[in-house]
Each structure stands twice: as structure tokens, then as C-alpha cells.
Amino acid sequence: METFSERVAAWVRAVPSGRVVTYGQLATLAGSPGAARQVSGVLRRETLRDAWFPWHRVVNAQGGISTYKVGEGELQAALLAREGVMVVDGALRLEVYLWRPAEDGPPPKPNR
């Protein structure tokens, strides 16, 4: 059985450059609505395992940067800017950048 963490990681890797997803959205996609907090743990672990893991494409439900360290927030904003995502005052417009899996490409795990 595939773990929650693995499913979350797969979905994050599926997010196209220039788009973002929220913690809660990932939890739901991975099959556990409400496990948004746990998603952060997955990002931390995956980032250690894979330096190129696109953790920066994950933001909170308000479109804000939620990194646990102040300095990391700056990094995330910079990485997003490099992909064309404009971050203003630590936040971005979800109505512009939020990725909706169905409209763009097949999910890594065609749910169900």
C-alpha cells in the first residue's frame, strides 16, 4: 500500500511550473481531506531526499507563503518568481496561479 506521504509527493511533482497548489488541496488529492498540516511534514522530508523537489509550489489556502523560517519565505518567493509567479507581500493570487489537476493533465494517481 502506498503511503499518504508518497501520494502527496507524487502530486506535488505533478504541479506544472508557474502554477501552485494549497496544502489542503494536496491532502484531499492524496485521499485525506483535513490532513493539510501533515502535508507540510511531507514537504520537509521530501526536500531532504530530493533537492529538486518542487516544494515551493505549495502555498496556504489564502495564497500566502507559509514556510517555517523567515528566510525560507524569501527563497520560495524567489523560486516562484523564476517561474513567472508574482509574489507580493508574501502572497500571490490563487485565482490566477492555482493549479487544477483536471484541466491540465492526468494525475500521477488517476484517482480511483
Footprint of DNA (CB under 7 A) = 3-5, 22-25, 32-41, 43-45, 47, 55-56, 58, 60-62, 66-68, 72, 76
| Least distance to DNA, CB of residue 40, Å | 3
At its nearest, how many Å lie between DNA and the CB of residue 24? 4
Q: Which is nearer to DNA, 56 or 92 (CB)?
A: 56
Strands (E), the chain: 21-22, 58-59
- What 77-80 contacts at long range (C-beta under 8 Å, 24+ apart), as own/partner pairs, is 80/20, 80/56
**Residues 92, 63: Cα–Cα separation, whole Å:** 5
Q: Compute the least distance from the CB of residue 56 to DNA, in Å.
A: 7
